[in-house]
Chains A and B, each alone.
Chain A
């Protein structure tokens, strides 16, 4: 009963928040973006034990898919990028919103497909090789796209401007992120309660044993990564519309920016738990927004230091810390959610 109330309160807050604090609309939207990437990173990183450093690949790919779909529906993409802002390219509201809707779906599906292809090549890799291999994929993708003139090369690519009032558009973006985030949370909650959830936990804890028991380890790993990639891809597509102009290395395939934030969020909140990534994302985002401007150019150094400190001293995150300090708080969940108690 208490739980239901909690969920209703959160949903209600999610809906009214942008109206209560219209000035913080963009920050709230970014917070949801962090929650989405953190939750989807945790699907493979925390729950399955496959720590990808390259999930940002799906974010960037989602952005480019969105651009290609939206532009390609109406114009020739090559001509559009060659003109680079010159020439007259207009979208009617119908064209724009059709492009938006199709982009989200296409970005998600395409990223899932990429995850299956890359995963097929990299899931034979364990532990550190997987982390480095995926990092390699993300870096290589950024470099290749910045040499690919058809999508604008290193200059990046511009999305059409949103039709209508820009303030309303901000609300639209916020609710797109929020809806994706809520959907992802529900999806994770369901997924971790299934046999599949238990199986990916088994892969994390002892993959050799899981293989010996006949679990379809490769298939499950691919499916889990494809699910995770779907949501990151959708988030990337929304970001493409939000940012309007983006370029490959600094925005789309931002390996050390968002690419590492998502890992830090999960570690802060607690790996392999349902709420950990959400709480971690909130902690990280609030910390970042409050302190970022006071570092006077040293914020990136501080970020590196934060990663080091979190990894070395606080790796179990808030949830892990609570679980050791207050095991009785988690006693109840063991009966209710057998899978999650595996932490």
Chain B
């Protein structure tokens, strides 16, 4: 309790610390927003709520980490993770997801939960349960008398995340496939009638989601640590963001992602690092409670 009060006092006495926390939170939040956008895509297009989302992120991280062990610059890990996770996403789609699309929501939720357990355990067997990270060996920038430190690696990570997000947005807006995906999301039957091969769209969307997550994971491994069992927290964060922002609301997803990143940083600063996972999950409950009260005003329920 004293520790919490002390931490709060620190925030009030040194406003600059707030800035540091917010910058940190926004940087991390950008990565959350990426995986959340993938989830929103899959959820919106094929109505599959993917609980293995976080495990895709972690898997992407391990791709980059493995390459780094072989002496390859981790910056190349990002495109490599994107490509490899694309393939993995396609395989998972063909083996599993295609069989749960038309089924009720609990089926897809539980099936992807099973997938999440499998992926986490396989990674545990392959890479061990230690936390891992990749060191870029880049300098750290200091501002405000050294109170704010921004490692170059984080800066690069955020820039890559922003570039990836922009690329995906442009792709969705301009390309034929992007249009087909958006059409399918609006009305799959109408899209089929109009000659869109929805099966292909689904497979593409799921692969794209896995690839985005993989790239996000490859960035995360540069600036943070990964561990085989961290996946579920990323899944929960993705759900928090999508639930807060709603489907098909890209600016909302980004804003919610950044906000949740900042909220989590504040939480772990005030309550201590041990509470980080708990805070991520409690945020989910808060967001759900908020959405419920919102729906209640509309005389509706959250479904």
A and B touch in the complex (CB under 8 A): yes
Interface range for A: 35 or more
**Chain A, interface SS category:** helix
Contact indicator A137/B285 (Cβ below 8 Å): yes
A53-B277 contact in complex given A129-B302, A136-B284, C-beta closer than 8 Å: no
Chain B residues contacting A304 (CB-CB under 8 Å) are 114-119, 121
Contact indicator B106/A312 (Cβ below 8 Å): no
A308 at the interface (CB under 8 A from B): yes
Contact indicator B111/A140 (Cβ below 8 Å): no
Chain A residues contacting B87 (CB-CB under 8 Å) are none
Contact indicator A124/B111 (Cβ below 8 Å): no
B231 to A: closest C-beta gap in Å: 11
A132-B109 contact in complex given A124-B295, A139-B281, A298-B125, C-beta closer than 8 Å: yes
Contact indicator B278/A312 (Cβ below 8 Å): no
Measured CA separation A312–B105 after assembly (Å):
12
A114 at the interface (CB under 8 A from B): no
Measured CA separation A139–B278 after assembly (Å):
7
Measured CA separation A143–B236 after assembly (Å):
14
Most B Cβ at <10 Å: residue of A125, A131, A136, A255: A136
Contact indicator B275/A133 (Cβ below 8 Å): no
A311-B49 contact in complex given A126-B302, A126-B303, A136-B281, C-beta closer than 8 Å: no
A220 to B: closest C-beta gap in Å: 15
B296 at the interface (CB under 8 A from A): yes
Contact indicator A311/B302 (Cβ below 8 Å): no
- Closest residue of B by beta carbon distance from A140: B281
A297 at the interface (CB under 8 A from B): yes
A315 at the interface (CB under 8 A from B): yes
Measured CA separation A308–B115 after assembly (Å):
7
Chain B residues contacting A127 (CB-CB under 8 Å) are 104-106, 303
A307-B105 contact in complex given A121-B289, A312-B99, C-beta closer than 8 Å: no
A297-B302 contact in complex given A128-B105, A136-B285, A308-B96, C-beta closer than 8 Å: no
Contact indicator A129/B96 (Cβ below 8 Å): no
Chain A residues contacting B51 (CB-CB under 8 Å) are 132
A200 at the interface (CB under 8 A from B): no
Chain A residues contacting B109 (CB-CB under 8 Å) are 51, 128, 131-132
A153 to B: closest C-beta gap in Å: 9
The interface bits of chain A over 275-303 (1 if a CB of B lies within 8 angstroms of the residue's CB, else 0) are 00000000000000000000001101101
Chain B residues contacting A53 (CB-CB under 8 Å) are 113
Q: Which of A137, A297, A300, A311 contacts B110 (CB 8 A)?
A: A311
Chain B residues contacting A146 (CB-CB under 8 Å) are 274
Measured CA separation A280–B274 after assembly (Å):
38
Q: Which of B122, B274, B302 contacts A147 (CB 8 A)?
A: B274
A144 at the interface (CB under 8 A from B): yes
A256 at the interface (CB under 8 A from B): yes
Measured CA separation A126–B107 after assembly (Å):
14
**Interface, chain B (partner A; CB < 8 A):** 49, 51, 96, 99-100, 104-107, 109-111, 113-119, 121-122, 124-125, 232, 236, 239, 243, 272, 274-275, 277-278, 281-282, 284-285, 288-289, 292, 295-296, 301-303
Q: In the A-B complex, list the 5 residue pairs whose CB atoms are closest, starting with the nearest.
A: A307-B114, A304-B118, A143-B278, A126-B303, A304-B117
12 contacts between A and B (CB under 8 A): A128-B49, A131-B110, A133-B288, A137-B285, A144-B275, A144-B278, A298-B121, A303-B117, A304-B114, A304-B116, A308-B114, A312-B99
In the complex, given contacts A297-B125, A307-B110, what are 16 additional A-B residue pairs having Cβ atoms less than 8 angstroms apart? A53-B113, A124-B292, A125-B301, A129-B303, A132-B49, A133-B285, A136-B284, A140-B281, A260-B113, A263-B110, A304-B119, A307-B111, A308-B115, A311-B100, A311-B110, A312-B111
